[in-house]
Copies of this chain bind each other. A is one copy, B any other.
């Protein structure tokens, strides 16, 4: 069965609106990092504090530079496009620049934007649309190997870690596929399933469809979604976990995060040993021999010394590889994963 597929024509302009911080500009940062050769520039509202570091462009400059597609590079809670972004999107579409977004609000449901795009011939691509006819999950064990990212919260580096693990497996000539579960991952990989946009009854079925039977030595590296500890999205995460039947999980964490973001109560991030125990207890319902292959931590707000101390202590306490996927790389996690599977 076909997955959600996207074919976006480069070069890209990353549109950021007035997104308040880097955590909410995940799509823009992800595209710029993993597909730099395809990204020509960025566009923001004047008050936007986030800077991806690409050339700033007006609509005219983007058109002049040959930009073919503007990607809405943000991931707000609830996935809505704010009304005050729409005039710029219409201006882009009117200039013949196609637009892609991964929001629950669909570009194709915005009449003025549709009219502008129709007139200029620009394409509107909604990436967060699951494929039709997803079956109910069935829980049958599958062949091939799988590793799934599990976050202590949203926006802690699950996608980055998955792509880094995938790249490391490819570097070692081990057959592997990155399996995208969110809009950014799908734009990077060209296909996947936006798991949080699937109807609830079919979450596990979508996860089963995303990583089907495969060769025994093949790894599916599955991007995570949400978090078991986030009261808004835990259902998405458990459905993905049970449907993925991972041989291994990698716990992803932000060292500066002590509380779950954007919720209305007291939701501390549990200690990482507890996180691993709870996650494995749930994971083993569909994959009895599932193990944790390591912890991937965003330590970007630490000094080098702080990072070394933090990761060293964590590794000592957990007896598992603990890395910063950017600063130290994920190689130790891949080693552990391949050794213990």
Contact residues of A with B, CB < 8 Å? 77-79, 104, 135-141, 195-201, 203-205, 228-229, 231-240, 242-243, 260, 262-265, 267, 278, 281, 285-286
Q: Which of B138, B199, B232 contacts A197 (CB under 8 A)?
A: B199
- Known A-B contacts: A197-B200, A200-B239, A201-B233. Give 10 more (CB < 8 A): A78-B201, A137-B231, A138-B232, A139-B232, A140-B263, A203-B235, A204-B235, A234-B239, A234-B285, A235-B240
Check B264 against A140 for contact (C-beta < 8 Å): yes
The 8 A-B pairs with the shortest beta carbon distances in the complex, nearest first, are: A235-B239, A140-B264, A139-B231, A139-B263, A196-B201, A203-B235, A137-B232, A138-B264
When distances are taken between beta carbons in the complex, the residues of chain B under 8 Å from A205 are 232
Number of copies: 2
B139 adjacent to A267 (CB under 8 Å): yes
Asked whether B136 lies within 8 Å of A232 as measured between CB atoms, the reply is yes
**Can you offer 22 A-B residue contacts whose CB atoms are under 8 A?**
A78-B201, A79-B201, A104-B201, A137-B232, A138-B231, A138-B232, A138-B264, A139-B264, A139-B267, A140-B263, A196-B201, A197-B200, A198-B200, A200-B203, A200-B239, A204-B232, A204-B233, A231-B243, A235-B236, A235-B237, A235-B239, A278-B281
Chain B residues with CB below 8 A from A228, complex form: 238
Residue of B nearest to A201 (CB): B196
Across the two chains, which residue of chain B brings its CB closest to A204?
B232
Contact status B201-A199, CB under 8 Å: no
A124 CB, nearest partner CB in chain B, Å = 20
Could you tell me if B263 and A138 are in contact, using CB atoms closer than 8 angstroms?
A: yes
Find chain B residues with CB under 8 A from A201 CB.
Answer: 78-79, 104, 196-197, 232-233, 236
Chain B: which residue is nearest A281 at the CB level? B278
Q: How many angstroms between the C-alpha atoms of A196 and B199 in the bound complex?
A: 7
* Contact A203 B236, CB 8 Å, known A242-B231, A243-B231, A281-B278: yes
What residue in chain B is nearest A138 (Cβ atoms)?
Answer: B264
The reply to whether A231 and B286 form a contact with Cβ atoms under 8 Å apart is yes
Closest B residue to A196 using CB positions: B201
Shortest Cβ gap from A60 to chain B (Å): 36
